[in-house]
Structures are given as C-alpha cells and as structure tokens.
Amino acid sequence: MNINDRKNNWKPIVLYLVSVAVIIILANTFLFPRILNMTVTEVPYTGLLSMLEDASSPEKIKEASLDEDNRTLRFLTENEETKEKRLYETNIWPNDAELLQKLRAAGVEISVRIPAQTNPLLVFMLSWLLPIVLFVLLGQFLLPKLMNGAGGQNVLSLGKSNAKIYIESETGKTFADVAGQDEAKEALTEIVSFLHDTGKYKAIGARLPKGALLVGPPGTGKTLLAKAVAGEAKVPFFSISGSEFVEMFVGMGAAKVRDLFKQAAEKAPCIVFIDEIDTIGKKRDTGMGISGGNDEREQTLNQLLAEMDGFDGTKGVVILAATNRPEILDPALLRPGRFDRRIPVELPDLRGREAILKVHARDVRFAGDIDLNAIARATSGASGADLANIINEAALRAVREGRDAVSQEDLMESVETVIAGYQRKGAVISEKEKRIIAYHEIGHALVAARQKNAAPVTKITIIPRTSGALGYTMQVDEDEKVLLSREEAMIQLTTLTGGRSAEEIVFGSVTSGASNDIEKATRLARAMITRFGMSSHFDMVALETVNGQYLGGDTSLACSPDTSALIDQEVNETIRGAHEKALSILKDNRQKLDELAAFLLEKETITGEEFMAILNRPISLPEATAIPLGDGNADEQAQEKE
C-alpha cells in the first residue's frame, strides 16, 4: 500500500470521529437539557394559595424553597394518582407572615433550594457516556465498510461495484439447462475448456478471448447462457447490470468499473457478466460541441475500455456482456482485444422450441401423452421466455380447473393466452356483431384454404380476448420456414384481406374489425417493395433500413420524396390486387361461406379438422341466409350474379 492509499484509508475514520463529536456536542447543547432538566412553570401567587387550600386536588406540594433576594418561591408538586412531579415558581406577596405557617400546615418540606436538574452522575452517563458507547458500537459495524469502500477512491463506498458474486457452481445452471441455442453453446464451450485447463492453451501460445458479446432479442437466454458458462467452468461469477454503473455523482461510474475489475483480478479465474451493456457502451459523442450530460457515461465507458485493455488475459478473467442493441455500441468496445467474439443468440427454430419446452416441462406433471412438437409448431417466433411462460400458464390453468396434471388442451389454451390474452367470457356482443365477426373470421379461413401452399387452418374462434381481438383464425405451417417467396407473401396478403372481403360481400358494408389486418397487410406489402426486392418497378434496390432489429425492427425510408410516393402507389396496387383475389375466392365459395359462418356462430370455436370437413362435404345450406348490415343490396347483387 502506498502513502496515498494510507492517507485515504484514514479519511473515513477521521470523518466518522468528527461527525460523532459534532453530534454529541449539539445533543448536549440543545437536546439533553430539555430531556434531563425539569421544566420550571411560573404561576401566580394565588395559584400557590389555591394548591395549599384545595384538599381535593390530587396534585400536592411536597417541597418548597424561598429565594429572599429575588422574592421568589420555588415549589415541587407530585400528583398522587399519576406520581408525576412538576416544578413551579411564583413571586411571593410582601409581608405575608402566614405563608410559612400555611406551608408547614400542609406538610410541605422547607428546603434551601430545589435543583431543577436530575442526578449529575446520571446526567453525565446519559448525555456523554451512553452516546459514546452507542457510537463506538455503531462504528464497529460501519467503519469496516467505510474502510473497504475508501480503497483510495471515495469515502462513502459509492464507488463499489455492487456486483452479485456467485462462488464456483452457485449459479445452479449448466449447459443442460440451456436448450435451443446449440450454436451459442458451441461458441462458449471453448471458453469453458480454457478456464478448466489453461495449460494446454498456454503451451501452444493461445490466449483466452478477453470478451464475448451475446446479442439477440429479449428473452432468448443471454443471461442464462452466461450463468451456464460459469456453472460449467466452476469458477466465480460476477453479475452486474449496465445501469448499476450510472450514478448521480460524477466519477462514481468509473470508480465502480475499477472496483469490479479489481475484485475480478483477485478471484481469477472468473467470469464477469455485464447485462445490458448498451447502457454504458453507447457510441461516444462525435460532435465538436459540449457533450453535456453524456460526460459521466463517457467517463465510465472510457474506464471500461482502459480496464479491458489493462488486465492480463492469461489469468483467466473472461468478460461476457449481453445486449439487444448492438448497433449503438461504441466501435472501440467491439474491436478485437476487448470483445473478441460476437455470439448471436437468436430466436429458436422448431427443434429448438421443442427442446426448450422439454427443459421447462421437466418439473411439471402431465396427464397422458403430451405432444410438445404441436406446441412448438404453433409458437413460431416465440422466445425461450415465452415458451417458459406457456408451460407455466398451462400449469396454472390446470390448477384453476381443479386438476392435478396438465393436459394437451391446457397447453394449447396457454399458447393462445400468451399470444392473444385471456378469454373475455363475460363480454357483451350483440347477435348482429357476432354474425359480422363470424363471417370475418370464416373469410380469412376460407381464402387461406382455397389457396395452394397456404398454411393450414388449425382453429377459428369468435370468443373475444383481453388483447382486444374479437376473434381470430389460427394457421400453423407444417414445416419451419426461413425464407419467404413472393408467392407466399401474396398468399399472406390475400388471406389478410379475406375478413374485410367477407364483410363487403355479405353485408354490403365494412367495419373497424379489419384494422389489425390492414396494418399487417400494409407492413408486409411495403417490406416486399422496399426491402425484399419483390417489385418489378424498383427491382433490387434497398429503399428502407431497419433500426433495432432485435427490438421490433422499426424501419425508416432511405429515398427521395418522389420515390416515396411511387412506393405508396405500388403498395396500394399490391394490396388492391390481393383484395380483389380474396373477393373472387369468396364469391366463388359463397354458399360454403354461409354454411361455415352458421356453424361457427353455433359453436363459437371450431378446429381446423371441423372446418375442412364442412368445406369438403357437399353443400347443405340454402344460398345467402345472412342478414345484411345495411340495405342488403350488395347481398342481393351477389346472389343475382351467382
């Protein structure tokens, strides 16, 4: 320890002693005199006489003292009921010779003086000795923390990293607890091997990667992977969030970074995990002006860069970090020598989803055979956290219904709960609106079923959900798809316009029920033209950029206003073409549209098998039994055309 460190280590002690001395002096000046000294209350002379003459009063005068120089009389009273003592003082009446006789007659003890203060020894013990003892005991508890917190950095431990430390395998996680991320586990296995046996790597001259950056959407298991690496390697694991480096005091973030790496060096080999590193790792201000409020964050980032450069990679300290916004990180943080590896942790595919479901289903009791593959196929695009929630919702549903095991029906309902919310069984919807919703959903399903290569319909319902959906049609692809062809995109667009098309054909009017379909169709049609190169006019030109691909993928146009107008025109034409195709399909299958809508109105929820059975059987319902929403002209015209 150098001289400066010794001086800094004494600072907390000196500050504590000075604080204690100031507190004790102030307490003895203002607080203790009021508590320990009796308050003297002035009363008129007649008040004294009343106390002497009133035999019924419980407050009796016990002791009196005369001050002839000041012509005052001080007397002490005691309440016979509550034993409360009070001290009074009054000016005596001149030449009142009977006062002394009255005092003696009342049994009052005559004293030279009545002290207003309690026992001096007791006062000393309470006002000086007791506070010192209390502060010494408090110092035994606080001073070690203040000393450790000083460390040459600051006095009040504000520069401590506060990282959670898991010793060796205390994380309780291994690679067996991580499913659906085989590529990420493979990339991290080498780090585990190095931490297990550094000798064989040093013998050939290899260095351990200083850092690995885990990037991916929320809920894909980045934190779980980091804990699993520590569990497999059986080394200490430091876990801290990027937001914990942000402090209201200038310099505290940088101090926490220094302290974190100091602790890591002492416990090497170990793993340091920084979650949400984008909080402190954002690109630094490149403007020539004053950066203002970013100064503290940039100081923290600069200290992190310096520490990652400064520690010896051969000692076995590995930095793992996680983010879902890699595009905003500072380039200096991402260069080799700091974060040598960038490991994508993407949304799981079909096989990965099934493996994740099996991991989370290990501790759940199931009734009979459970088809987790069907659940995996129904949850395309779900993250590991979503799948864990689905298993838990299924278990909660089984408990609510009084069963001791989870069924396949519970799992399927939990999928819909996570996607669309809980059922609103008490929602009040008129028969007319129910009919509109039924035709709308059958419109989607019928258009999908009559198109080649469309995803099969698995469920149709008109039971409202808490997400705001009044009904929905579920389609599940038989196989996992990673590419989208133009034909498949047009099939999706045509299916999305099927609900609104059914409303137009049957009721001759439109409602707001297609608002979500319109949003999805517009988004897909625009992506086809601006990003997927599925436009004959623009060909393979990127007209749109994606921002935050792991956080919703917001887009922004990268073209001139004139080009933007042409894009809008082509989006309109694309959706209009899909809309016209959907109208054509529904008009050609009008009788099946009525028959299926009537069946859905009766059952409220039908399966894909029931839907296809009715669609493929001979027509059994008379034409056009629907009740028009408006004047019915469109319905009559449709019948005449048929």
Percent of the chain with pLDDT over 70: 79
Residue 374: count of CB within 10 angstroms of its CB: 16
Quote the CA–CA distance of 75 and 67 in Å, as a whole number: 11
- Give me Rg for the CA atoms of the chain: 41
What is the CATH code of the structural domain delimited by 40-116? Answer: 3.30.720.210
CATH class of the region 350-419: mainly alpha
Q: Which residues contact 432 (CB under 8 A, 6 or more apart)?
A: 627, 629
CATH topology assigned to domain 164-286+294-344: Rossmann fold (3.40.50)
Query: Is 271 strand, coil or helix?
Result: strand
pLDDT of 601 > 70? The answer is yes
**What DSSP character marks residue 282?**
B
Is the pLDDT confidence value at 54 over 70? yes
Cβ density class 391-421: b for 16+ within 10 Å, e for less: bebbbebbeeeeeeebbbebbbbbbbbbbbe
| Structure token digits, residue 635 | 């319905």
Question: Pick from 243, 226, 222, 244: which is nearest to 235 by CA?
Answer: 226
Report residue 638's pLDDT band, with 50, 70 and 90 as the boundaries: very low
Cβ contacts of 12 within 8 Å, gap of 6 or more: 143, 146, 147, 149, 150, 155
Cβ distance 111 to 132 under 8 Å? no
| pLDDT above 70: residue 26 | yes
Q: With 90 as the cut, is the pLDDT of residue 368 above it?
A: no
pLDDT, residue 527, reads 92
DSSP string, 187-200: HHHHHHHHHH--HH
pLDDT digits (tens, 9 = 90+) for 148-180: 544 434 444 444 555 555 555 455 788 888 888
More confident residue, 341 or 162: 341
Q: 565 is written with which tokens?
A: 């107008």
Residue-wise pLDDT tens digits, 351-364: 999 999 999 998 89
Question: Distances in Å between the alpha carbon of 28 and those of 18, 25, 31, 116, 125?
Answer: 16, 5, 6, 16, 12
Does residue 345 surpass a pLDDT of 70? yes
In 3-state terms, what secondary structure has residue 5? helix
Q: Check residue 17 and give its pLDDT.
A: 75
Q: Which of 20-29, 197-206, 364-373, 474-483 has the highest mean pLDDT?
A: 364-373
Report the chain's mean pLDDT, rounded to a whole number.
79
In one letter, which amino acid is 61?
I
CA distance 340 to 190: 13
* Pairwise CA distance, residues 367 & 385, whole Å: 24
Q: For residue 162, what are the β-bridge partners?
A: none
pLDDT at 154: 42
Judged against a pLDDT cut of 60, whether residue 580 lies above it is answered with yes
The band of 287, judged by pLDDT with boundaries at 50, 70 and 90, is: low
Strands (DSSP E) contained in 306-369 are: 317-323, 341-344
pLDDT digits (tens, 9 = 90+) for 399-442: 999 999 999 999 998 998 888 788 887 778 889 999 999 999 99
pLDDT in tens, 485-523: 999 999 999 999 999 999 999 999 999 989 999 999 999
Q: Which two tokens stand for residue 523?
A: 């988004």
Hey, where are the domains in the chain?
3-36+121-150, 40-116, 164-286+294-344, 350-419, 431-641
Q: Which residue is catalytic, options 232, 307, 354, 441?
A: 441
Question: For 100-114, what is the mean pLDDT?
Answer: 72
Beta bridge partners of 86: 77
Active site residue 623: no
Is CATH 1.20.58.760 the classification given to domain 431-641?
yes
What is the reported pLDDT for 574? 95
What does pTM read for this prediction?
0.67
